[in-house]
Amino acid sequence: MRLRSAVAAALGAGVLLITTPAPASAATGQFRYAYMTVDGYEASGFLNSPPNGQCLNLPGVGEDNPQPAHSPKNRTDAWATVFTGTDCEGDSFPLRPHTGSASERLKVRSVVFN
């Protein structure tokens, strides 16, 4: 009897380990935006499968570039909240998963995915 109980307990523990989902650590997909380089050229930026819950300053539009990014497009599977300032400061605007986008009028410098 003890052997059967031990085997059943071991199998039960194994099933729990296999079926427990791993926490999602990244949004799947791509976040896109447009910006003007410091040399005056129009450029496109993107973040592939960005991490969730971490503030990201958008490459190309940091403190060395006086022009913010614009026209953000959220093609990830997570909500994206864009901010007018770096380090997720300033006014914010949420973009829904997969289809969220905004016009050229929305100026952004950072984003966080939830």
Per-residue pLDDT of the chain (114 residues; tens, 9 = 90+): 454 554 444 445 454 444 444 445 789 999 999 999 999 999 999 999 999 999 999 999 987 899 999 999 999 999 999 999 999 999 999 999 999 999 999 999 999 999
Give the list of residues 6+ apart from residue 32 with CB closer than 8 angstroms, or none.
44, 45, 46, 72, 73, 75
Question: The pTM is what?
Answer: 0.77
Torsion angle (degrees, nearest 10) of CA 85, 81, 60, 68: -50
* C-alpha to C-alpha distance for 47 and 95, rounded to whole angstroms: 15
* C-alpha to C-alpha distance for 43 and 47, rounded to whole angstroms: 14
CA-atom Rg of the chain in angstroms:
21
How far is CA 86 from its chain centroid?
15
Matching CATH number, 29-113, of 2.60.40.10, 3.10.20.340, 2.60.20.10, 1.10.10.10: 2.60.20.10
- Token digits for 53? 């819950």
Q: Report the sign of the C-alpha dihedral through residues 23, 56, 59, 95, in that order.
A: positive
